[in-house]
Amino acid sequence: MTRAVVSLLAMGGTIATTRSEGRATPRRGAADLAGLLAGLPAAIRTVDVRTVSSRAVTPADMWTLAEAVRREIDGGADGIVITHGTDTLEETAYALALLVDTAVPVVLTGAMRGPHLPGADGPANLTAAVAAALHAPLARYGPVVVFQDEIHVARLVSKHHSARVAAFSSPSAGPVGFVIENEVELLLGPPQDPDRLAAVAPPDRTVEVVMAVTGSGPRMIEAIAGDVDGLVVAGIGGGHLPPAMAEAVVRVARAGRPVVLASRCADGPILRGTYGGPGSETHLLGEGVLATRVLSPVKARLRLLFGLSAGLPATDLFPPRTPSTDPVRSRH
């Protein structure tokens, strides 16, 4: 019987660290990590993409990783596992959801404790990720994150704790499944809408995120508006901005640069038609500001960045909607 092939693509991160002068630095490659796996019914094919802390990962690296994933799939891999630092793992997972159309499972994982620490979680996370990559029905979910035996879809997963081993969650829905005894148990169906963009291209645009806080004025928006191709604003609550900041955001939108409104809240959608007055969601949407529905600001940025880079109109990426639009279908 032919053994399934799982391609292990390494990006660095805590799971790949060794200690030097008392500090952990990523140095181990995919072949080293493959040595942690034992007893799984798969042949492991190893590829080193990058060996860095995830704080250093860029959208260009995400594109390079997406190309590597496509090559491995074209080369006959039955599943893909990507090891990655946890700080920006959720962003890379969502970038792959935008960029890769796959018929095999694509699974991202990592570690919170380095291999030199007691209770290192890397081997268990990696083993569970490979088991998930061998479960063919998982491909319908798009790229997923497997951490602490939980399976999370890329659109919803976030790193909710900076240091605990159980660092990842999906506030809006929870995990879609688990890995128990190296077998996958799926609890929820795949996302109704695919995240993948209608066209893809290497990132060549600049999109920044600005967070609203109490009393925010126009200064930050005005300082960067001329240097970006698009802007994501992490609004307060259901999509609100302090009035002075809202005025600056509206000016950018009127000038023809796409501005996308997201929420700085960990859970919940952008509202469409509840509140009125300066800085309300109805004011901003009425002036041409676009809005995500449930995407976090960092993922809305990636959608806008890669979409604009591929020549897609911002209104296709974040379609304007009225309050009567069915919210169940308003995923982005």
Select which of 14, 83, 88, 109 is catalytic: 14
* Interatomic CA distance for residues 175 and 189, integer angstroms: 11
Neighbours of 256 (CB within 10 A): 7
User: What string of DSSP letters covers 215-252?
Assistant: T--SHHHHHHGGG-SEEEEEEBTTTB--HHHHHHHHHH
* Interatomic CA distance for residues 284 and 148, integer angstroms: 40
Pairing of strands 150-153, 144-147: antiparallel
Query: Residue 208: which H helix or E strand, with range?
Result: strand 207-211
Neighbours of 116 (CB within 10 A): 10
Contacts of 235 (CB under 8 A, 6+ apart): 212, 241, 261, 262, 263, 264, 270, 284
Contacts of 328 (CB under 8 A, 6+ apart): 192
Specify whether 14 is catalytic: yes
What is the set of active-site residues?
14
